[in-house]
Amino acid sequence: MSKPTLGNPQNTIEILQKYHFNFQKKFGQNFLIDTHVLEKIISAAGITKDDMVLEIGPGIGTMTQYLAEAAGKVAAVEIDKNLIPILEDTLSEYDNVMVINDDVLKVDIRGLVEKENGGRPVKVVANLPYYITTPIIMGLFEGNGPGNKDYGALSLAVQYYADPYIVANVPPNCFMPRPKVGSAVIRLTRHAAPPVKVDNEKWMFDIIRASFNQRRKTLANGLSNSDKIDLPKDVITEAIAKLGKGESVRGESLSLEEFAALSNDLWEKKGR
């Protein structure tokens, strides 16, 4: 197998020109052109030849080449059909890569993993477009604690399912075309067991989502207005008070541990 070549900006430009490729805004396409960032991603993922990697949005195959060098097998899911001929070209030297032209949200990931990796866990590595980060990984924990305006349901979901770690911040000039905002490389290591104990996981996330759906409302109003909670406001207010919080508290002021306690209390009351 040949060494990766697409981390070099000039090589990226040549491939794009060769195929007369036009970036599509609807797919949020920003290709990495920095070898140091690419190497950091591969290193942080701890990929070995024993691993199967699922890559979401390979683009022209820049990171895919690095993944193919490190992993035993790579399944790359690309939604843009115009990139498939380019991927066939840039990945032609790698016999351990399969490209799937589909929307990853419609792919049977469980079935794919069962078929290609015997059901064993896989590593997911992706240069995700901002617009699709939420539905793919249930959010991105950005190191924001309670009270921060960016703290929300997505951050709590990531804390519940995984241990998040910011590997590196990536400035706009590491991409082509340059995005208008900075990016970050995040490693999410799934917990062996969740850090908090809840009686009903779905119920807790119903409460969390209701808490952040209407940010200007107090926590009590947000929960009492939700058709998924369906409990009297006085019951909700009493449960919030048990946390040592006042009536005017908002959802962003609660930690994951406090949401778990609130969830368990309200779940018990709902079952009565």
Contact present, 272 and 234 (Cβ < 8 Å): no
pLDDT of residue 213: 83
Burial class of residue 181, CB neighbours in 10 A (0-12, 13-18, 19+) = exposed
| HSE value, Cβ hemisphere, 13 Å, CA-based, for 144 | 19
Q: Over the stretch 90-125, which tens digit does the pLDDT of each residue have?
A: 999 999 999 999 988 788 888 999 999 999 999 999
Structural tokens at position 82: 């115009």
Contact present, 190 and 162 (Cβ < 8 Å): yes
pTM: 0.81
Is pLDDT above 90 for 5?
no
Residue 77 banded pLDDT, cuts 50, 70, 90: very high
pLDDT of residue 143: 35
- Closest CA relative to residue 69, chosen from 45, 88, 103, 100: 45
CB atoms within 10 A of CB 256: 20
